[in-house]
Structure 1
């Protein structure tokens, strides 16, 4: 396993840390990796062994054995103390701690020392006391001490602790199960690698393919399950009773749980041992299991009678609670009560049992009359509709699925299952949605319900599965929906066209767009009008009729002000990108993200992050784009959306180019290509190759840059139409350095036509720069350089403006002498320094030296903070709140919170007042 960034950062900040985590999370693997990567260091290891916990200094003896031959070289007293300890004559107290510290300090003078102690909770008390004593006293010495222990034990006193995070299940299981199945396994296992392995080994073929529900508990005889069962067995009876209430409903808030505990003659404080054991914790006002699959284990371990009693108690308590003023909370309370009533109601004869219910539950449940089932199903459906309107699609999905199980009518059952699947998809649970859709079998094959089913299946496959399969489903959905459901048919066709847009198949893309345009009638709704204008503008763009594309695309932007649907806003943001209006695109993508969050449409979020990253990249806001891409990548992987993950990886590769960060660029580009491998070549792959070509150009590998970029910008090359335009300015430079002025002029001319058609300053500035580069007349070149810089100022792309200034200054120095170039070079140098674009800083300094100016490197302003942390710290020092900083840098508030904590640690400050003083 790789060392998680959280742990690496912690080790950078302190010399000793206690790493904790649940069973199977990889504590031992972490220590092995730390030891394996300790090049040039003396590595000392020990581990707690249960049979040696009664042997004083057994672990310390094991740890110091590699240094035993150095003990005689110590001063007399520490040498004698350590010799006695190693011989088994165990002294205690301060002298031994001082002696061990002396030995490690002297060893560290030769080479850094890493001490790795696994399962320190099983280490004998005497060794643990000495190790903690030493760990609290290492300061400036090159000594690192890393201890591991489970999360149900208190950390060593006086030492910082860190929790080992889970793995990314999508990457961990890559190539073994589909991405959406891997994401669902990862959520159920809490990212625990051993649990993921144990669970995956037990899956059936249908479960692996996403056609059947995943297990609700871990394998009974798996190691992780045994360790958790042991923790459960150690709990008092009162705690186990309350855990069953939590297992019956994790969505009930803590106050309701407390009332239920009191009604049962207990108290919520009885859960304290379960919290201390790392089994449950409070989150979002509810009590949740730290290990999600533990919920099923607790629930199914209880008897049928105990489960029914738990549901009945919670239903009664929820019914007896007074109505509150918070409408959302009231809707949630009604839904939870209906859920528990449904758990007490058996399904129709021969119907499926509910998740979490056994056949014994069915036989012993409440009355079996159809009227009772119908009433409960109707109450669930009404409650689900309310919480759905509040954006809680996960709760609505569970409720409607249970309503389907209680419904005997096949048509109603099918509609309930489709609604439950749609809610599951919107809530970011594609695997659950797929399982529900697999159960959906309308009684009438010609029903429009099949069209809506295929539309949803196609949308899910588009984001999580194979694009070609998605396109087949979406086209079939459009055919089934037809004129009676024209808007839904349009949506299906636009989603189907996205497959060709991403893959770069222009012919098929245009064919599908024209199918949409043919559906236009006249009197359209606002949403339909936006979609028609979008398709009309995109068709003109891909037919190279750039002038004809501008009017309909601008109409899309006008219409977008009237809508809040995240999908429509995302299409509008893409439109703004096509028009070269990145500021507008960024604003629309942020609106789309906010709308998706408010509406609970989690599945739509990765697309909004893609568009935000793209816009910020083109605006030259590299720090903001990097943070957005990092956050979008993590989200896409957690939701099982590999296409979005591939796009963000390619963007991160591009963002590494201005910094000249070759390792990051290459690793990210290769990862983007690998992530998109089974989805076929597309925009992400083209962007990754563009990043590698731009990197070659940046570091001076002209031949390699020319070869890579030529494939991307020529119509016959395996590229993507948008990347063809975006990479054109890089190709013009590479071709001119290579000596192929004709190719540079041809590609520059194509780019010029597109840029001028958009009317946007940013692409027009790049087009003017390309014209200046290929111009043979010095006067024409200078005119175009000046025009490019004027447009750059309007477009506010600082990095590209500085690049243009550098190129212009080089031309000025060659044709008009050094004095004319210096002022332009200084402007460019200041910008590159501000953006930490080191290769371009060096290029500017080289040009300045060529003018005869003595250039000295600038001293770093704050070497103990990263560039991103320094920006955030400066905003904070000016009095900005975390939310204001997030808005300014286009980051999430959570990301800013994380950076602020690290800033305080790195600078050694405890308040914003101290931060101001430290930065002064």
Structure 2
């Protein structure tokens, strides 16, 4: 056996093999059966075990593969094993049935022997029984390991078994990358291969091998169906070839009965029974197949009134293996048993031998509400396949693709678009492609594609043209392109029938052009309209955010979520959850924002919307900067930036950078926070998103003052505050007046700062919101303490600590606690374990300095963070070293857990 290539998605299986080989090296015999369907990677795992055994200087390897032609020849398997062993002194020429264990011990010659039997289900029953008898008696003192790969039907009871599962998406993608080499695979081709393989590595390998480089790269069309899977599918079908003919008929009926059902829901048991009876399948055969494991070797499983195939590929294998006439006859039988409607039409389509224009028209008519989008896509795809006219066929492929997109299946949508021979100027195709790019592609490209689609659609489909322009506006917003956003809105024609859209369009245009009063009046009408459609509710939520009416934005988001879940438009679910999570974050409801963002992230991954996932990671980073601290915040921010950078998602980049800076502030790193935020709030190529950059200004000012930027570059900080003051007049966000007063307090001379802080706190009392109010109290208390007004500082610091604890902000609470201890107040000390334990004997100021130094800060940087002199830091640091028994900054970092 040759050294295998890397295995994907098999860490659990390789771990089990390593455990078996470890026992073998210790002189302990062991056995393991690798079972599972054809193509699941049993042979690759055997090869991996052989390579690992040899790499570690193991003993001999005995390898044999079952032969289909000898399946019923008595003792042929044992004979093959003896032949593979070759000549051995004292070994018998024939292996007696009960002497296999003795033979294996002798063949090892005292060295660890690895015995690999591949396709053991193809051995004759007597040989399998002898192999199982010997394998069950291995143990200490018998340095023989038996590794068996076999199908489920091998019947090797009593032996430890391991069943390799289907590859997950990540593992299958990794395998595909290895199979295709350095040349990039077209995304449509990639989706088609991964979907067709259904997690089976053998099938994925076979399918990929049959495609040309041009087909893999998308330069040539894919064949339909994809070639190369015959061998694996035939091996699946062979697993039930020994069953009675009546049972095989029942299985074929069950496979065909899945055609009109939603994916993964199984088939109707009553329909299968009725069809089986009509096909003259005896009830006894039906009962045997459905109720006893031996009937189908575990192929069919019953769950209530539904039946499922244990292996998804088995259903395809049975339909693939059946002669076309017989397969069509079964579908026709099912169609006759179903009532007129969608299900019967799908079965009739499967039974049709060729194009059928009337049936195609009936299927298109059935693809209408209230049927779910996935069902509509299925009906339209069948209609397209049956349509003789090329133009009509292409239009139906495109319509099916759009329904798959709405159902949250972009892979199938792209595959159907690739099959549509639409003219270059086909508006619906451009529209669907643009919306797919908006979900998973550079948003500037999506913007242009949707503008093109709108121009093509306007003469004959104004409603869809309007939707394309709204998509173009969304793309421009995500890209931070204010002019592009305005342009797309301007192109939306006036429509008296949709006053809500007109109010939104005109209101947003007015606000962005500086006519704030008129714009707010129109957006308020949009917000108060009582809309019910998901798109209108999303626009209402956006209007609420622009107005600063955050409670109304949250209500609109909640209603949009309910509407989307009721409509079944899965493609919209991640976007709605993103809008709702962001509104809740702006309203200070961090825990709820986090919960909805996590739901949205799962939905975005399921429905293929990585752009939405990037925005959701940015929301989660902002929530983590309050609730979880720097590590979790950094993880989400990095994920957001990784998705945002290649696709031009400026809004996600702005939010993620702001989140990281806020986490820096919580950890007492103002210089780092100011450095991150400075490019966002100042003019230049890295300027933040036009609608969200102002949200970061309070953090920028808070970071700039202790970092010294307010002194070195006071003009830039003052300019940012002036712009923020103008923005404050354009929003009704209740937190903004308090944040503005806080910014002015931070920059004010000592004689004015008291009044500014009091002004900010008065605004907070009216607005509410624990987190922002606690931040202002923390800054006010810290300012008082640094001016040696420690008694006055304790009350705002204590209130800040309570506020942070109440809103679930532990890192910020720790910062407030440190300030409170430095002000001389009694605060509960850190617990006996964790990073706080080594500092328990230090004063509050010494502990703060020790933490900063352990994080890598210089004495000058520590002094700037804590607003003390460098000489004070030097003095305290010497005492810290003496108290903790360390001699260097490196030892201090290691003691506090920062030494990596």
Could you say whether these structures have the same fold, taking a TM-score greater than 0.5 normalized by the shorter chain as the test? yes
Distance 2:163 2:358 in 1: 52
Match of 2:277, SS state, is: helix
Distance 1:48 1:581 in 2: 75
Match of 1:533, SS state, is: helix
Q: Does residue 764 of structure 2 align to residue 772 of structure 1?
A: no
1:380 alignment partner in structure 2: 363
**Residues 424 and 283 of structure 1: is their aligned pair in 2 closer, same or farther, counting only changes over 3 Å?**
farther
Higher radius of gyration, 1 or 2: 2
Distance 2:40 2:588 in 1: 40
**Residues 214 and 819 of structure 1: is their aligned pair in 2 closer, same or farther, counting only changes over 3 Å?**
farther
**Residues 691 and 226 of structure 1: is their aligned pair in 2 closer, same or farther, counting only changes over 3 Å?**
farther
**Residues 451 and 537 of structure 1: is their aligned pair in 2 closer, same or farther, counting only changes over 3 Å?**
same
Whether the 8 Å contact between 2:447 and 2:475 is mirrored in structure 1 is yes
Whether the 8 Å contact between 2:332 and 2:348 is mirrored in structure 1 is yes
**1:726-752 Cα distance to aligned partner (Å, 9 max, x none):** 222221111112223333332233233
Shift of 1:558: 1.8
**Residues 531 and 760 of structure 1: is their aligned pair in 2 closer, same or farther, counting only changes over 3 Å?**
same
Shift of 1:725: 1.9
Whether the 8 Å contact between 1:279 and 1:289 is mirrored in structure 2 is yes
2:490 alignment partner in structure 1: 514
Match of 1:471, SS state, is: helix
1:245 alignment partner in structure 2: 253
Whether the 8 Å contact between 1:629 and 1:652 is mirrored in structure 2 is yes
**Residues 621 and 129 of structure 1: is their aligned pair in 2 closer, same or farther, counting only changes over 3 Å?**
farther
Q: Does residue 562 of structure 2 align to residue 594 of structure 1?
A: yes
Partner of residue 722 from structure 1, selected from 677, 691, 694: 691
Partner of residue 256 from structure 1, selected from 271, 276, 279: 271
CA RMSD between the two structures: 5.0
Whether the 8 Å contact between 2:581 and 2:596 is mirrored in structure 1 is yes
Higher relative contact order (CA 8 A, sep 6+): 1
Distance 1:801 1:6 in 2: 50
Shift of 1:699: 2.6
Partner of residue 552 from structure 2, selected from 572, 584, 599: 584
Distance 2:411 2:435 in 1: 13
Whether the 8 Å contact between 2:237 and 2:321 is mirrored in structure 1 is no
Distance 1:800 1:20 in 2: 59
Whether the 8 Å contact between 2:549 and 2:732 is mirrored in structure 1 is no
**Residues 25 and 833 of structure 1: is their aligned pair in 2 closer, same or farther, counting only changes over 3 Å?**
farther
Match of 1:563, SS state, is: coil
**1:559-613 Cα distance to aligned partner (Å, 9 max, x none):** 2x2332x222222222223333333333323322332232221221221121122
**1:70-125 Cα distance to aligned partner (Å, 9 max, x none):** xxxxxxxxxxxxxxx9x989xxxxxxxxxxxxxxxxxxxxxxxxxxxx99999978
Q: Does residue 274 of structure 2 align to residue 299 of structure 1?
A: no
Alignment of 1:369-518 (within 5 A): 373-385=356-368, 389-408=369-388, 412-413=392-393, 415-440=395-420, 450-482=426-458, 485-516=461-492
Distance 2:439 2:831 in 1: 46
Distance 1:859 1:835 in 2: 25
**1:138-179 Cα distance to aligned partner (Å, 9 max, x none):** xxxxxxxxx999999999999999978723479757994465
**Residues 515 and 757 of structure 1: is their aligned pair in 2 closer, same or farther, counting only changes over 3 Å?**
same
1:880 alignment partner in structure 2: none
Whether the 8 Å contact between 1:120 and 1:128 is mirrored in structure 2 is no
Whether the 8 Å contact between 2:801 and 2:813 is mirrored in structure 1 is yes
Return 816-825 or 743-752, whichever deviates more: 816-825
1:220 alignment partner in structure 2: 229
**Residues 283 and 647 of structure 1: is their aligned pair in 2 closer, same or farther, counting only changes over 3 Å?**
farther
Distance 2:775 2:477 in 1: 31
Whether the 8 Å contact between 1:19 and 1:163 is mirrored in structure 2 is no
1:529 alignment partner in structure 2: 499
Return 304-313 or 489-498, whichever deviates more: 489-498
2:521 alignment partner in structure 1: 551
**Residues 830 and 245 of structure 1: is their aligned pair in 2 closer, same or farther, counting only changes over 3 Å?**
farther
Alignment of 1:344-359 (within 5 A): 344-348=351-355
2:867 alignment partner in structure 1: none
**Residues 288 and 690 of structure 1: is their aligned pair in 2 closer, same or farther, counting only changes over 3 Å?**
farther
Alignment of 1:180-199 (within 5 A): 182=190, 185-191=193-199, 196=204, 199=207
1:609 alignment partner in structure 2: 577
**Residues 813 and 549 of structure 1: is their aligned pair in 2 closer, same or farther, counting only changes over 3 Å?**
farther
1:918 alignment partner in structure 2: none
Match of 1:658, SS state, is: helix
Whether the 8 Å contact between 2:240 and 2:296 is mirrored in structure 1 is no
1:694 alignment partner in structure 2: 662
Alignment TM-score, normalising by the size of structure 2: 0.68
Whether the 8 Å contact between 2:457 and 2:465 is mirrored in structure 1 is yes
**1:773-821 Cα distance to aligned partner (Å, 9 max, x none):** 333313322223313422441xx4x333332332233234445834444
Distance 1:702 1:506 in 2: 31
Whether the 8 Å contact between 1:211 and 1:435 is mirrored in structure 2 is no
Whether the 8 Å contact between 1:769 and 1:804 is mirrored in structure 2 is yes
Whether the 8 Å contact between 1:504 and 1:720 is mirrored in structure 2 is yes
Shift of 1:202: 4.3
Partner of residue 855 from structure 1, selected from 828, 852, 862: 828
Q: Does residue 581 of structure 2 align to residue 562 of structure 1?
A: no
Query: Which runs of 5 or more residues in structure 1 are unaligned?
Result: 8-17, 34-43, 56-84, 90-117, 132-146, 320-332, 349-372, 861-920
Return 707-716 or 528-537, whichever deviates more: 528-537
Partner of residue 805 from structure 1, selected from 773, 777, 795: 777
Match of 1:606, SS state, is: helix
**Residues 410 and 615 of structure 1: is their aligned pair in 2 closer, same or farther, counting only changes over 3 Å?**
same
Whether the 8 Å contact between 1:534 and 1:571 is mirrored in structure 2 is yes
Shift of 1:480: 2.4
Alignment TM-score, normalising by the size of structure 1: 0.67
**Residues 280 and 176 of structure 1: is their aligned pair in 2 closer, same or farther, counting only changes over 3 Å?**
farther
Whether the 8 Å contact between 1:22 and 1:151 is mirrored in structure 2 is yes
**1:299-324 Cα distance to aligned partner (Å, 9 max, x none):** 121112220221122112214xxxxx
Whether the 8 Å contact between 2:188 and 2:411 is mirrored in structure 1 is yes
1:667 alignment partner in structure 2: 635
Shift of 1:710: 0.9
Whether the 8 Å contact between 2:666 and 2:815 is mirrored in structure 1 is no
